[in-house]
Structure 1
Amino acid sequence: MTLDLARWQFAVTTVYHFLFVPLTIGLSALVAGMQTAWVRTGDERYLRMTKFWGKLFLINFAMGVVTGIVQEFQFGMNWSDYSRFVGDIFGAPLAIEGLLAFFLESTFLGLWIFGWDRLPKRVHLACIWLASIGTMLSAYFILAANSWMQHPVGHIVNDATGRAELTDFGAVLTNSTAVGAFLHTITACFLTAGVFVLAISAWHLGKGRHTDTMRPSIRLALVTTLIAAIGTVVTGDLQARLMTEQQPMKMAAAEALYDTVAPASFSLFTVGTLDGSQELFSVRVPRVLSFMATGSFDGRVEGIDDLQAAAEQTYGPGDYRPNIPVSYWTFRLMIGFGVLAGLIAAAGLWFTRRRARRPVPRWFYPAALATLVTPFAANSVGWIFTEMGRQPWLVFGVLRTADGVSPEVGTASVLTSLIVFTLLYGLLAVVDGVLMVRYAKAGPPPPASSDDSAVGSDEPRPLAVAY
């Protein structure tokens, strides 16, 4: 019971925190691009775009910081045995993330916030770019730590102390799983930011408001979303092959494939028994799973039953299967939501092309607004699949989840903290939603008057435009 509650608590806080992370990473780069366009062209529309989207970025960044702090404490609270076992390895990339990457992004973000009209224009622009780079570095170091749990490298297990000890930090940072996860995550971040800008721009354009800034915003969003959607497909294909090589049970669970077959088909939709052990009805595409798993349409994909038997021989008696229905559906929902966002972007680019003979269809703007949910849903179910598909392992092949929970923390304590965090995060969700909707509806700042034409020159000036 305590183990299940601890897992639920970590899942609630992690999924909620990860709602903000991809948007922060992707939107920081888009805002930096908008400011770059203003610096290069002097077009005030780009300055107004920078300030509008930058304000939404800052709200999101603040919420991400607040919700991320809780995760750090959970390692010592609910997962002390895990922290004791992997602290020598897991702590290194997290320490670098905190001391280097987070300080980089927070320091230069602070300079960007308070440096309007105090710093030379190009110096101020460099601040937002450095802050954006800092967010990406933070992502890499955190993903390196998580990827070690998926594919542990560069370590030995000291039987005397019962702890994993780091032997090759370079191997941890260059872990193939970390590289693949980073590429897939970054493209997902740009997909999230692109859809975010797309949805809000579409809302304003549908009402005929702020067209001078929302038209270039929606074009930028459409291009970003489509390129990022293609990128997620390519990097996801890379990850699928790494997953098949390193965690074959996760790939088998993603397809609910019980028998080893060659070639293997990919099911678009399956109805099975509640425990996922039997298939009742399925719509399949021949050979696609073989290509996803091996890069060959004739490739052999191992089934759950054979992998379970092999795991029992290697690790001893036990159930080494993850939750099959959860793995199956989260894998498909992740793909489906991402593809849907890409299709909306492709349609939007066609409707808004320069030589379009007809106006944008009336249905497109509401559809683009509704698309806002797709990248956040894809990110959430993607991480659920990544973590639950690894079960029953906390560190794959090394430490089981049941062996990582804190032995001295009782069920009542975990249940109380779970309820408190859930209610607190629910309150934060309301606050964040109210702030985001209020400032998104307000739109960009009005054009500067003729007296403000010198704002943003290369010479430092007293603060004239408050953020």
Structure 2
Amino acid sequence: MDVVFLSRLQFALTIMFHYLFPPLTIGLGVVLVYLEGMYLRTREPIFENAARFWTKIFGLNFALGVVTGIVMEFEFGTNWAAYSRYVGDVFGSALAAEGIFAFFLESGFLSLLLFGWDRIGPKMHFFATCMVALGGIFSSVWIVIANSWQQTPAGHVIREHTINGETFLRAEIVDFWALVFNPSTVNRLIHVWIGCFILGAFFVMSISAWYLLKGRHIEFAKRSFKGGLLLATISSLAQLNSGHYQAEGVAEHQPAKLAALEGVYKTEKGVGMYIFGWPDDETETVRFGLEIPGMLSFLVHGDFNAEVAGLDELEERWGRPPVWLTFQAYHIMVGIGMLFIGSTLVACFYWWRGTLFEQRWLLWYFVFAVGLAFVANELGWVAAEVGRQPWIVYPTVVNGELVGGLRTSDGISEAVRASQVLSSIIFFGLIYLMLFALWISLLHKKISHGPEPLTESPPEHKGTVLGAAAALRRHEHSLTEADEQSES
């Protein structure tokens, strides 16, 4: 058993499980802001009713995200001590900023969001919702900045240190804002955010489509579905444009990753772009591939006959990423994205025709399409992280030479043993299975219960003593009716 492989596997499993929750939290946060904003503008109870329902699911998802995220920070010390020592100055500032500016903001207003209904006014509750949504977005900012620095390091110098006779290298910040706005930060942030919005929108549409197919909560489901469809359509189209700029940055700063993403084994002119295929490292070809001739050359260089560097030229200098996994993760992600563009546009066409909710086949598609949204988010990170191997921190090019960088095999803890990592994989695997089962069970319970019945209390009474008194009178009235029915 290889300790490096097992440690990589452990981190991949823990972060992929954790990443089920933050994108959905961010996406649902945007949905909640929209629903409460519409309620303030229109005062229609259906929007408040929808906001209350989705807030319950948001709270459940937020809790699972926090619990599963803690483990990864411990892994930096237990499995990746050499890596942590190398990047500690960089990661320390980014993670501290995430805690100060994001997590405290998000968690501080979370109690008002979850428990503030009928206790504070609608405007204050809307403000709390905005702060929670903003906190989730801020949290992603600092995490993506830290990860982007690993992909395209900037704003630092490599210094040599000696402690207790041991000499090691350490990346230290010299320009904080250059670190924050490293060459890939902005493109990656936009790409991640749009992926979160897509997931949140498809999650809302999935549950709403289920209600419509079962004939339950019809008005609530229609309003929620239309809002989700609008967000999903805009985000899916925007993601296509974002992905193009993301690829341009990869071509400039991580040429070996680009070659793995597109299965370019040999340096050639007029390189095509594969729609799908099966990379074969032995023959260094893409088998069973469907290719658009010259398209990769055009997208990278603006010329259908331009030369694109292949792994035969890049491997000696940059190393070779695992081509098959990188290629497949990337192409499946892109394929799902194109499917989302097509399906949301078709749904918008039926919406325009006024027959959207008559298309049962389309509603059934949206019930299950949320699974594809989860898959696309996960595969995006797989392509990004596997594609930068064998580097855990990519080197930079200075005067034609590679400077800095840390190979994955050099980032492992010296004290950790393969048997220890394997036992922790099994242990945490069991815990995560139980957490996943708990999440599904509670989610099913909340979806089965559905939104609460509409109440017609005057909007100006919300969050006031009069509102509380009115709620108490409604409760007493319902108890009186129940007593009368039992006596009869």
Do both share a fold (TM > 0.5)? yes
**Normalising by structure 1, what TM-score?**
0.93
Report deviation, 1:429.
0.7
Cα deviation digits, residues 159-199 of structure 1 (max 9, x gap) = 23421111111111111311111000001111001110111
Mapped partners of 1:227, 1:116: distance in 2: 31
Mapped partners of 2:357, 2:15: distance in 1: 42
Aligned to 2:75, what secondary structure does the other structure show? helix
Structure 2 CA distance for partners of 1:394 and 1:417, relative to 1, 3 Å: same
Mapped partners of 1:138, 1:275: distance in 2: 43
Amino acid at match of 2:365: A
Aligned to 2:118, what secondary structure does the other structure show? coil
Cα deviation digits, residues 37-85 of structure 1 (max 9, x gap) = 1112110000111011111111111111110111111101100110011
Aligned to 1:239, what secondary structure does the other structure show? helix
Q: In the TM superposition, what are the counterparts of 1:178-217 in structure 2 within 5 Å?
A: 178-217=185-224
Aligned 8 A contact 1:341 1:374 in 2:
no
Partner residue in 2 for 1:415: 422
Aligned 8 A contact 2:261 2:330 in 1:
yes
Partner residue in 2 for 1:222: 229
Of residues 286, 299, 302, the one that matches 2:309 is: 302
Mapped partners of 2:302, 2:418: distance in 1: 46
Amino acid at match of 1:338: G
Amino acid at match of 1:425: Y
Aligned to 1:280, what secondary structure does the other structure show? strand
Mapped partners of 2:356, 2:254: distance in 1: 50
Partner residue in 1 for 2:440: 433
Mapped partners of 2:179, 2:260: distance in 1: 26
Aligned 8 A contact 2:43 2:459 in 1:
no
Aligned 8 A contact 1:275 1:324 in 2:
no
Mapped partners of 2:371, 2:340: distance in 1: 9
Cα deviation digits, residues 379-409 of structure 1 (max 9, x gap) = 1111011100000000012100000010001
Indicate whether 1:372 and 2:358 are aligned. Answer: no
Report deviation, 1:140.
0.6
Partner residue in 2 for 1:402: 409
Partner residue in 1 for 2:119: 118
Cα deviation digits, residues 312-340 of structure 1 (max 9, x gap) = xxxxxxxx101010011001011111222
Aligned 8 A contact 1:155 1:166 in 2:
yes
**Normalising by structure 2, what TM-score?**
0.89
Q: In the TM superposition, what are the counterparts of 1:278-289 in structure 2 within 5 Å?
A: 278-289=285-296
Larger Rg: 2
Partner residue in 2 for 1:457: 462
Amino acid at match of 2:336: F
Aligned 8 A contact 2:56 2:114 in 1:
no
Aligned 8 A contact 1:256 1:276 in 2:
no
Partner residue in 1 for 2:328: 329
Cα deviation digits, residues 284-321 of structure 1 (max 9, x gap) = 0122212333344444321011011344xxxxxxxx10
Of residues 229, 249, 254, the one that matches 1:247 is: 254
Partner residue in 1 for 2:82: 81
Mapped partners of 2:111, 2:225: distance in 1: 28
Mapped partners of 1:46, 1:79: distance in 2: 47
Mapped partners of 2:365, 2:334: distance in 1: 19
Q: In the TM superposition, what are the counterparts of 1:79-158 in structure 2 within 5 Å?
A: 79-158=80-159
Mapped partners of 1:298, 1:363: distance in 2: 44
Mapped partners of 2:303, 2:107: distance in 1: 45
Mapped partners of 1:305, 1:274: distance in 2: 12
Aligned 8 A contact 1:275 1:325 in 2:
no
Aligned to 1:269, what secondary structure does the other structure show? strand
Amino acid at match of 1:391: Q
My pick for the range that moved more, 263-272 or 428-437, is 263-272
Q: Which has the higher contact order (CA 8 A, sep 6+)?
A: 1
My pick for the range that moved more, 433-442 or 66-75, is 433-442
Aligned 8 A contact 2:217 2:451 in 1:
yes
Partner residue in 2 for 1:314: none
Structure 2 CA distance for partners of 1:373 and 1:276, relative to 1, 3 Å: farther
Partner residue in 2 for 1:317: none
Q: RMSD over aligned Cα, in angstroms?
A: 1.8
My pick for the range that moved more, 295-304 or 187-196, is 295-304
Partner residue in 2 for 1:232: 239
Partner residue in 1 for 2:484: none
Give the total of aligned pairs. 454
Cα deviation digits, residues 388-435 of structure 1 (max 9, x gap) = 000000001210000001000111111111111111111111110111
Cα deviation digits, residues 211-265 of structure 1 (max 9, x gap) = 1111111111111111111111111111100001000000000111111122221
Q: In the TM superposition, what are the counterparts of 1:257-296 in structure 2 within 5 Å?
A: 257-273=264-280, 277-296=284-303
Amino acid at match of 2:7: A
